[in-house]
Amino acid sequence: MWRTFSTGWLWPFMLVAPVATLAEPSRPNVVLFLVDDMGWRDCGAYGSRYYETPQIDRLAREGIKFTDAYAANPLCSPTRASILTGKYPARLGLTSAVGHLPPLPEGAPRYPENTPPGRPITTPESRRYLPPAEYTLAEALRDAGYRTGHFGKWHLGLTEPHWPERQGYDVAWHGKPDPGPPGPNGYFSPYSFKAGTITPGPEGEYIVDRLTDEAIRFIEESHEQSRPFFAAVWQYGVHGPWDHKEEYTKQFADKQDPQGRQGNPVMASMLKSVDESLGRIVAKAGRARAGGEHHRPVHVGQRRQCAQQHPGRPPARRTSSRDTRSGDRSPAIASMPDTCRRRTIIRCGRARGRSTKAASACR
């Protein structure tokens, strides 16, 4: 039986909240699995009849599914900054997807001299990195004795002073520039990053799989060291350049959506790879738990739909970069074994009758 809770309010960072409540002597392991450009309806747990995401769906059945999770911004860099700091992007001055660009010169004006014709308002220039002075989630957990690791897309600073190693991560696997894996090779090795810590793998290696391998190695090493860990697994998929495994894409070439809403085999192929990654991560964390540790995997679809791949996604409208439900509404799942009840749905928005906080789903 599904349990449904209604709340009259929305957490700005609902999925970080379980992490913030960790206390001695129990320090569960934490996995934050972020999927870029995955829309609200892009998995079975949220209603898709076309995409095949058994691992995401299983996590939803075994944990807490949020029906009304919203990002702080419809773009990459601001959302990631808000997740790490708990602040609205405007407070950070980081309001656009510019984390792959060189920092603005010191003292550069906040506002442009001219506003382009047709633009109704003048908008400030966005900061192009997460300020090092900000105290991040990774720093808080590291200070609490956690081993911290970042794997995948960063998009919060091009230059080394703004890399994840400077924001609280003991281990970081990332490349620059990084809105998506750059060309000419994109998702396939040898990778085309110009800087960072990503090294080439075997020719033709898929970066979604390699990222997963690196995260699993980190989990194994943390277990060997008997240290609790925080793993930020920030997948490049399903962001452009939409490179995919041909063998997976062929499986969806003739598939029809009975709802008539979805039907892109490339997107389906990339989601299948991301879903397999999540399954491997959860399985590895689960084996660590069987050895006496606990883990709290959190899955977040980074709220956005891509215009090039999905020009329409009912019931939402428009595309990922817009301040509409297509841009902000996200699939979000939290699984906390032995702590939160299975098959729990958290509904945020207008409370009907008695308002129950989401925390009441946890023992």
**Residues known to be catalytic:** 76, 155
Give this prediction's pTM. Answer: 0.84
* Confidence (pLDDT) at 288: 57
Indicate the class that CATH gives domain 3-20+27-100+125-348. Answer: alpha beta
What ranges do the domains of the chain cover? 3-20+27-100+125-348
Q: What value does the mean pLDDT take over residues 15-32?
A: 56
Instruction: Tell me the pairing of strands 344-348 and 147-152.
Output: unpaired
pLDDT digits over 199-257, tens only? 999 999 999 999 999 999 999 999 999 999 999 999 999 999 999 999 999 999 999 99
Give CA–CA dist 190/221, Å, rounded: 26
The beta-carbon contacts of 306-313 under 8 Å, at least 24 apart in sequence, are 306/37, 306/238, 306/239, 306/240, 308/240, 308/242, 309/238, 309/242, 309/264, 309/266, 309/267, 310/39, 310/262, 310/264, 310/267, 313/39, 313/40, 313/41, 313/261, 313/262
Q: Which of 248, 211, 249 is nearest to 231 (CA)?
A: 211
User: What pLDDT, in 10s, does the model give residues 287-345?
Assistant: 655 444 555 666 555 444 333 344 344 545 444 444 444 457 888 998 887 676 666 77
